[in-house]
Amino acid sequence: MDHPVTANEVKNYETDDISQHESEQQMDKSPSTYTVGCPPRKKFLKEFADGLKETFFADDPLKPYKDQPKSKKFMLGLQFLFPIFEWGRNYNLIKFKGDLIAGLTIASLCIPQDIGYAKLANLEPQHGLYSSFVPPLIYAFMGSSRDIAIGPVAVVSLLLGSLLQDEIDPINNKEEYLRLAFTATFFAGITQALLGFLRLGFLIDFLSHAAIVGFMAGAAITIGLQQLKGFLGIEKFTKQTDIISVMKSVFHPFPHGWNWPTILIGTIFLVFLLVAKYMGKKNRKLFWLPAIAPLISVVLATFFVYIIHAERYGVQIVKHIKKGINPSSLELIYFSGPFLGKGVKIGIIAGIIALTEAVAIGRTFASMKDYQLDGNKEMVALGTMNVVGSMTSCYVATGSFSRSAVNYMSGCQTPVSNLVMSVVVFFTLLLITPLFKYTPNAILSSIIISAVIGLIDYEAAFLIWKVDKFDFIACMGAFLGVIFASVEIGLLIAVFISFAKILLQVTRPRTTILGNLPRTTIYRNIEQYPDANRVPGVLVVRVDSAIYFTNSNYVKERILRWLTDEDEKLKNKNIPQIEFLVVDMSPVTDIDTSGIHALEDLFKSLQKREVKLALANPGPVIMEKLHASEFVELIGNDKIFLTVGDAVMNCSKKSKEDV
């Protein structure tokens, strides 16, 4: 794709409306009398401070505090940490009605999901419910998204469970496993909050959208395969997450190791859940159906198992969920000892993945409702809720896409919907957890399978394939890494390929040959505009990137290669060779000393070939550095032009004079 039109090129579009005669007259005129200006050199500290501000404070967060009394500054600071003081002033009964309906709806969805997700993390069911009580309560006061629904999610639960069981056996060392889970949650929260306070949120953008799509799809399939244990009633199952190990565990005990009553229960309710989801998707008025379906399934399946005592026929049930609200777990967190480092490592990984998912969800719904979401503020809120959650028997919570979608469609207005959900979960923990005793594991597996199907975004993958093949490689690399190796390997592949793409783009920037559009002074990529004409004796090349030490040598060699190729073509056609090389510097945003040395080497190489160098439209940063390095004196100030058109006219005129 060609680069956007620069300010210096805008005037050239005016020639499109000029008659051919007037255009030819204009082409005969001498080049513009304007010269490329060099801005006054900034002091190093000023330049460094400006760069720092643009990197970390691009949104100018301190602007509202200027010229304000101390009391106002205090309130603004309070509103930054607790946005509820900002939107709460305009809260009313109409908004509460929407939040109440949304909160009750997502509560009916989260309760069965939380029990199942806790099993993914190899934790007791109550810890899933705990994680939908305290964290949403904190988020309601500190979060800025109106639509995110907070709680455990499938991908993070699987990732956490996978990383934790690599360190400690969750069956034989339950207490140490639980302590490590709380430790990881604590440091996940610390990581998230620090990223927000230090305004380092841009770091999570290094995970490309394509890599996330592949990672999520792979994780969804892995989670679904893991649920075959409960869905088929298999007692002995592998701890590995790769597809080969799981398939061996599934088919090795077939058919005697499968429990057919369990399969019947799971299949019936999975079909019911998928039909409910399909109907809700087809008819927006039935949005409540896929939200309430999991709870209906749990109630019916539990009642059915209780009535016929299906556990006697080998149907595995939840058995016991601890009653009561969250006990303190502060003393269980490792702040020293051999497990501290492991907890920090797992926490950082889980925290960043949870953060990536939450911010992506928040931005999606914010754009749909046309409001701004402060990413750094969100990170602080998510981090704080996980730190508090780790002290109250919760594991890593984040924004859930399925619940957030239901929250949005239910008409939520503010984060109060999370508050309502939290209150419902509170009463569930306090009063009705014993009723889940006869809930079959198969129904929980069905709920999770139906939930994670939505994470497989095949439409996004197809679009990635059409738009960018390298992005598709990143997507498939992450996907295959998750399903054939492990969640951690898939994550590493996603990160590696994302960085590889950045390095490839930085080290191998695009360079293109420009031609003149007929009857204009506009110069564009000849591949994009086949009608563009090459100017005899002049080669116009554009560099579409900043020139740094990582790519400076490549840029120089690529330009020389363009020149060699053009000369060979002209020689074969018995056309005069190239006399002038014009480098369009419009897209070059910056250059370092290596880049300047590359330009000097290019200039010397061109001298040996008896080709003259000219630069067109270098920006202020480029001009400042070219003057500071005395490169301008080397090639001559008269070889730097405002536009490519000026440069070409000047070169053509000199070529005629030489003749």
CB 401 within 8 A of CB 454: yes
Predicted local confidence at residue 578, as pLDDT: 92
User: Whose CA is closest to 274, among 454, 402, 450, 409?
Assistant: 450
Which residue carries 């299906």 as its tokens? 310
d(CA 631, CA 604): 12
Q: Residue 62, SS3?
A: coil
Looking at the DSSP assignment, which residues form a beta bridge with residue 580? 538, 612
| pLDDT at residue 21, rounded to an integer | 40
DSSP for residue 333: S
- What are the structural domains of the chain? 91-499 (no CATH), 511-655 (3.30.750.24)
Q: What is the pLDDT, as a whole number, of residue 205?
A: 73
| Amino acid 501: pLDDT | 84
What end-to-end distance do the CA atoms of the chain give, in Å?
Answer: 38
3-class SS letters over 508-556: CCCEEEEEECCCCCCEEECCCCCCCECCCCEEEEEECCCECCCCHHHHH
pLDDT single digits (tens) 486-535: 888 988 888 888 888 888 888 999 999 999 999 998 999 999 999 999 98
CA distance 415 to 149: 8
pLDDT at 657: 59
User: Beta 612-616 vs 523-525: how paired, if at all?
Assistant: unpaired
Alpha carbon distance 281, 402 (integer Å): 12
* Polymer length of the chain: 659
Instruction: Measure the CA–CA gap between 581 and 583, rounded to whole angstroms.
Output: 6
Pairing of strands 149-151, 398-400: antiparallel
Counting as low any pLDDT under 50, the low residues of the chain are: 1-30
What pLDDT, on the 0 to 100 scale, is given for residue 579? 93
Q: Quick: pLDDT tens for 587-636.
A: 999 999 999 999 999 999 999 999 999 999 999 999 999 999 999 999 99
> 84-87 long-range contacts, Cβ below 8 Å, gap at least 24?
84/140, 84/141, 84/142, 84/415, 87/414
**pLDDT score for 37:** 73
Q: What is the pLDDT of residue 58?
A: 67
What was the pLDDT predicted at 34?
Answer: 67
The answer to whether the beta carbons of residues 418 and 141 sit under 8 Å apart is: no
